[in-house]
Amino acid sequence: MSQNDTAATLNIALQNQTSSSTVYAYITGQAIDNKNALFLLQSDGKTAYYPTSPSGTMSALGANCAIPLGAPGSTVTVTIPHLAGARLWFVRDDTLTFYLNPGPALVEPSSSNTADANYNKFWDFCEFTYNSLQLYVNISYVDFVSLPISLTLTNTSNQTQHVTGMPSSGLDTICSGLNDQQSKDNAGWNQLIVQKNGANLRANSPNTGISINNSLFSGYYQPYVDQVWSQYSNSTLTVNTQIDSGNVAGTVSNGTFNFGNGAATYTKPSAADIFSCSSGPFAVTGDQVKDDITARLTAALNRSTLLVNSNTPEGEDASKYYQNPITNHYARIVHAANLDRRGYTFPYDDVAPSNGADQSGSIHDPNPQLLTVAVGGGNAAAGSNTPSRVAPRTGNQDSARRMIPTFFSQISFTEQ
């Protein structure tokens, strides 16, 4: 096996750190070595299930893919092949329901569709890609927060990377923080909280919240955006693309932010554009230079650093993130609830200064040996290992959460 050729399979140790004996895991993805076929792992944790295309929509799976984790404190080891756009799902006190559409296309659980069979269940996921080059895995809070998940990756040299995640009380801490922020600015942060029988079930991201209620946060970012556009009408913002294009200068003229003499231009974005990082002036274009600028500009807007730093992301300091009263308070609160302050809270939370400390809760290695994923936060501890430092993201949607294959779908429907 060459240095950049990973093993054909990888073991994943799944740990139940909840207080429940009813916890299941599911693994979905795209089987790289099997013509990128839709893949699910069966309940024995070893057998692959490759669904065939059904004749109609919302068809049931043809195999049991719920992997039982056993009693609290138990560890179950499963084996996966090379997978792209993969997700490792957990559900507590229930099972999850997946459907198949023609293709086959997998209909995943939805945190925004109240008609979804899984909407009122306590579930979450992390994301990964395991290919011939490396294993890349991250904790994802881009859509919502629910169950605490931690990651530990050991490579063939017995070196370890760790992402701590939240303690068992993490969701309650986040919901309390959202309520506190609501009391300060009355912007709608409490509407991100989803409860069941009076208990916190999940906290949606602003982007998910807007998908449920498109008037949520309407106008929220406008005063800050106005200040930014005004400031750079008389000064220059330098964006380091962290690729061959290097630094690109931008100034505002006639209401348009112009970078690199037309390489990228932006009209004023709405709050929905900023939280999604992908709508309005921030829509993905396929032009690498513009998309790289977009990634760094939207990251700075979510973190509200543009008024205090005119060199992004190289001049960024994580201690200065989220300090403006108008900011992505969901991201601020979620980061604070994680014991190592790491987790993917918006689509470009992986943007960082070159060789800067990781904010996105990601770990990666070209020679992985064992990935341990714990759910529930029962033994969550910050640990003594130094958080990984990551290579700068390119903004070309190459992280694990942006590699979900096209045959996965979340469709809108009113009944099942």
CATH number of the structural domain 222-325: 3.30.920.50
- Given the candidates 2.60.110.10, 2.60.40.10, 3.50.50.60, 3.40.50.261, the CATH classification of the domain at 10-166+339-409 is 2.60.110.10
| pLDDT confidence band for 387 (50 / 70 / 90) | very low
Tell me where in the chain the CATH 2.60.110.10 domain(s) lie. Answer: 10-166+339-409
pLDDT at 245: 86
| Mean pLDDT across 242-249 | 92
Residues paired with 24 in a beta bridge? 68, 91
Over residues 40-67, the pLDDT tens digits come to 999 999 999 999 999 999 999 999 999 9
Give whole-number Cα distances, 370 to 159, 179, 405, in Å. Answer: 11, 39, 25
Longest dimension (CA), the chain: 63
Query: Is a pLDDT exceeding 80 seen at residue 210?
Result: yes
Write out the residue limits of the CATH 3.30.920.50 domain(s) in the chain: 222-325
From 333, 358, 50, 40, select the one nearest 179 (Cα to Cα): 333
pLDDT in tens, 397-413: 333 333 333 233 333 33
pLDDT-based confidence at 244, cuts 50/70/90? confident
Sign of CA dihedral 261, 263, 269, 275: negative
pLDDT tens digits, 6-34: 999 999 999 999 999 999 999 999 999 99
Average confidence (pLDDT) over 240-268: 94
* pLDDT band per the 50, 70, 90 thresholds, residue 118: very high
The pTM of the whole model exceeds 0.85: yes
Q: Does residue 374 carry a pLDDT above 70?
A: yes
Average pLDDT score over residue span 87-115: 97
